[in-house]
């Protein structure tokens, strides 16, 4: 767009996102919309165009929110600009969803016509409603034999409380009903609002930032007031960093350079920024010479919930790991890390994640994209400690826990979880939540599915709650949670001692009632995993000075009496005594080598 006359009028712009539960067809619908509007030529199209990370394609999930600008000629002959943001459905990436929604005015709510409303559908819809979004309901997969559109419409009205009588029926896979979706976007979603128009000082919301190897830091912005153009000097109001704008563009999904972005438009800018840390998501961008008066409300920074240590298997790879986590941090602002060292594992990093899936994805990206072999220690959460002298500290790593006598109270994070499950699995799910110290707050029915609300301690969920939930419900239960508060608990630090030496990477905070069982499981597991040595090895789980569980690995022994034929029995006894003394000395000085596989397997301990 070169002149101001070419600028898209506000009432011809629609900014919208697609919200849905995992696997309900968001990315496929995005593909169809891009195709219908000619965003990419046929040969450039591929399935899930916007999921451009290998991991996203393999796992079939969206991790990063992606944006695309489309031109659509409506039935009334007018051409509209549609800015679509495809959002992740997974609970660990909820912060991606919240910031995508704040850049839009409306949402397409996609619901699978055979499966109906799921836990994440609810979570994402409530986020959209909090952002004052206009919602258009879309029922996907109506071509499936199991589809029951009428039942699902009723369910949407009962559970979410929005009118679904005019829901658009589509099949994103076959392309059925896609024109109706485009018409609904134009007719039923509102155009963007500007506070003061194009003549006002620049005010834009920083929606996202990522690192591009060729262009440096790319910043996704939504312009509220004023005009953003090349050559302007902009200032980030939160970090107070100033930069000249190198280029302004829109994603169609390819980057297309334009002259300027006006009010209501979404686009990307590059401004020779070296550090993604300077571009805080949710910040307000304004012109340096003519700043806007008031900042936009912004978003809360993503708070890491789960921590774990990442160590290279080969200590020589430490520098490579340092470079790799630095690069990943550029693309993922919610991932945090600091250096730590462990007696058993050497140097590594203590990393913070938004949840277990996030942890898995980061670990997999480090191993894949940077070719590293890693060991992750047991995931732990952040505890708040009140000391006897009245001071407060946060504990990220169980190995750093202060002496028990100095601690007045330990508080652990609790979450509010909502679980949707078919009726037949209800009993076993209730038992699972009970075993994990859960407190039931609500149980309602939606058709033949139960909706459970539970308060659960996060450190019980972090281990393998999600996997257990999926396996006992045969994959049908869906789970969504948010952090509620910190509550005092009877927590103790359990240390694992191998041959009398504590192994710091295996220490963990557990509830006193579960400590003995956890300790016994851990000792039994290590007994199988640590190879025999020439001397006996005791494996103990201890709380403070009290051993609560013990296993012993028997010694390998050489038959020292093999060469004795006949003669006096004392000759044999003498040799055996000598061997015994040697083993005793060996045990004092002997080092027990714990193989890396043993660490990994011990940390994956499940609580069947």
Residue 286, marked binder: no
Q: Domain range spanning residue 277?
A: 203-287
Run of H or E including 151: helix 149-159
In this prediction, residue 607 carries a pLDDT of 42
Domain boundary among 346, 375, 404: 375
pLDDT band at 374 (very low <50, low <70, confident <90, very high): confident
Kindly state the average pLDDT of the residues 24-39. Answer: 76
Residue 193 domain flag = no
Query: Could you tell me if 45 and 117 lie in one domain?
Result: yes
Residue 444 domain flag = yes
Residue 517, marked binder: no
Q: Are strands 134-140 and 168-169 parallel, antiparallel or unpaired?
A: parallel
Query: Could you tell me if 274 and 408 lie in one domain?
Result: no
Residue 608 domain flag = no
**Least confident among 134-138, 338-342, 431-435:** 338-342
Query: Could you tell me if 409 and 558 lie in one domain?
Result: no
Residue 295 domain flag = no
How many angstroms separate the first and last alpha carbons of the chain?
62
Domain boundary among 188, 221, 251: 188
CATH number at residue 122: 3.40.50.300
Query: Could you tell me if 17 and 72 lie in one domain?
Result: yes
Residue 24, marked binder: yes
Among residues 340, 339, 374, 341, which one has the least CA distance to residue 359?
A: 374
In this prediction, residue 143 carries a pLDDT of 85
Query: Could you tell me if 72 and 49 lie in one domain?
Result: yes
Residue 139 domain flag = yes
Residue 140, marked binder: yes
Length of the chain: 608
Among residues 352, 353, 362, 357, which one has the least CA distance to residue 324?
A: 362
Cα distance between residue 13 and residue 106, in whole Å: 12
pLDDT band at 524 (very low <50, low <70, confident <90, very high): confident
Residue 548 domain flag = yes
Query: Could you tell me if 71 and 164 lie in one domain?
Result: yes
Cα distance between residue 8 and residue 191, in whole Å: 12
In this prediction, residue 1 carries a pLDDT of 39
Residue 297 domain flag = no
Q: Which residue has the higher pLDDT, 298 or 327?
A: 327
Residue 495, marked binder: no
Could you read off the pLDDT of 67-126 as tens digits, one per residue? 788 888 888 888 888 888 766 555 555 555 666 677 788 888 888 888 877 767 777 787
Domain boundary among 441, 459, 489: 489
Contacts of 556 (CB under 8 A, 6+ apart): 532, 533, 534
Query: Could you tell me if 364 and 328 lie in one domain?
Result: yes
Query: Could you tell me if 53 and 169 lie in one domain?
Result: yes
Query: Could you tell me if 425 and 558 lie in one domain?
Result: no
Coil, strand or helix: which one is 245?
Answer: coil
Query: Could you tell me if 571 and 480 lie in one domain?
Result: no
Residue 482, marked binder: no
pLDDT higher than 80, residue 330: no
How many structural domains does the chain have? 5
In this prediction, residue 585 carries a pLDDT of 65
Cα distance between residue 372 and residue 424, in whole Å: 43
CATH number at residue 543: 3.30.70.2570
Contact 213, 259 (CB under 8 A): no
Residue 23, marked binder: yes
pLDDT higher than 60, residue 304: yes
Residue 296 domain flag = no
Kindly state the average pLDDT of the residues 33-54. Answer: 58
In this prediction, residue 343 carries a pLDDT of 67
Residue 444, marked binder: no
In this prediction, residue 93 carries a pLDDT of 57
CATH number at residue 393: 3.30.70.240
pLDDT band at 608 (very low <50, low <70, confident <90, very high): very low
Highest mean pLDDT: which of 276-280, 365-369, 469-473, 537-541?
A: 537-541
Query: Could you tell me if 100 and 180 lie in one domain?
Result: yes
Query: Could you tell me if 37 and 183 lie in one domain?
Result: yes
What percentage of the chain reaches a pLDDT higher than 90? 0
Kindly state the average pLDDT of the residues 50-70. Answer: 56
CATH number at residue 326: 3.30.70.870
pLDDT higher than 80, residue 210: no
């Amino acid at each position: 767009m070169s002149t101001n006359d070419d600028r898209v009028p506000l009432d011809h712009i629609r900014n919208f996102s697609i919200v849905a539960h995992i696997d309900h067809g968001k990315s496929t619908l995005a593909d169809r919309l891009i195709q219908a509007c000619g965003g990419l030529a046929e040969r450039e199209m591929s399935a899930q165009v916007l999921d451009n990370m290998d991991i996203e394609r393999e796992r079939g999930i969206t991790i990063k929110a992606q944006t695309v600008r489309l031109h659509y000629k409506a039935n009334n002959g007018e051409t509209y600009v549609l800015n679509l943001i495809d959002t992740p459905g997974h609970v660990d990436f909820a912060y991606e969803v919240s910031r995508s929604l704040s850049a839009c005015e409306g949402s397409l709510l996609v619901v699978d016509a055979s499966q109906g409303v799921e836990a994440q559908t609810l979570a994402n819809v409530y986020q959209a409603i909090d952002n004052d979004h206009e919602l258009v309901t879309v029922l996907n997969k109506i071509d499936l034999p199991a589809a029951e559109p009428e039942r699902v419409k009723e369910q949407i009205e009962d559970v979410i409380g929005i009118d679904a009588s005019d829901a658009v029926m589509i099949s994103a896979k076959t392309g059925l009903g896609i024109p109706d979706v485009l018409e609904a976007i134009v007719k039923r979603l509102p155009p963007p609002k500007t506070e003061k128009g194009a003549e006002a000082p620049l005010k834009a919301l920083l929606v996202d930032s990522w690192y591009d190897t060729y262009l440096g830091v790319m910043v996704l912005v939504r312009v509220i007031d004023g005009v953003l153009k090349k050559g302007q000097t902009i200032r980030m109001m939160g970090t107070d960093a100033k930069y000249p704008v190198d280029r302004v563009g829109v994603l169609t999904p390819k980057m297309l350079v334009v002259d300027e972005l006006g009010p209501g438009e979404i686009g990307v800018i590059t401004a020779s920024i070296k550090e993604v840390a300077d571009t805080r998501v949710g910040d307000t961008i304004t012109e340096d010479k003519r700043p806007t008066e008031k900042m936009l409300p912004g978003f809360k920074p993503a708070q890491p919930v789960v921590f774990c240590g990442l160590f290279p298997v080969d200590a020589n790879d430490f520098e490579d790991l340092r470079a790799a986590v630095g690069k990943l941090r550029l693309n993922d602002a919610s991932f945090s890390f600091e250096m730590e060292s462990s007696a058993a594992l050497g140097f590594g990093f203590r990393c913070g994640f938004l949840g277990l899936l996030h942890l898995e994805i980061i670990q997999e990206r480090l191993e894949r994209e940077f070719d590293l072999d890693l060991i992750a220690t047991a995931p732990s959460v952040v505890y708040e400690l009140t000391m006897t002298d009245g001071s407060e500290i946060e504990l990220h790593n169980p190995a750093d826990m202060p002496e028990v006598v100095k601690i007045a109270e330990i508080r652990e994070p609790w979450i509010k979880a909502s679980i949707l499950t078919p009726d037949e699995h209800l009993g076993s799910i209730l038992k699972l939540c009970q075993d994990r110290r859960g407190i039931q707050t609500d149980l309602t029915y939606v058709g033949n599915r139960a909706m459970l609300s539970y308060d659960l301690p996060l450190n019980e969920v972090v281990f393998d709650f999600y996997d257990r939930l999926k396996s006992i419900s045969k994959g049908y239960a869906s789970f969504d949670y948010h952090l509620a508060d910190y509550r005092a608990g009877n927590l103790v630090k359990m240390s694992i001692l191998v041959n009398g030496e504590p192994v710091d990477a295996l220490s963990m905070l557990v509830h006193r009632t579960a400590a003995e069982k956890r300790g016994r499981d851990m000792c039994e597991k290590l007994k199988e995993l640590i190879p025999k040595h020439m001397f006996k090895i005791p494996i103990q789980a201890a709380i403070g000075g009290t051993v609560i569980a013990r296993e012993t690995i028997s010694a390998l022994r050489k038959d020292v009496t093999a060469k004795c034929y006949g003669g006096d029995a004392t000759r044999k006894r003498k040799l055996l005594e000598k061997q015994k003394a040697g083993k005793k000395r060996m045990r004092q000085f002997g080092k027990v080598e714990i193989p890396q596989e043993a660490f990994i397997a011990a940390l994956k301990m499940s609580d069947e």
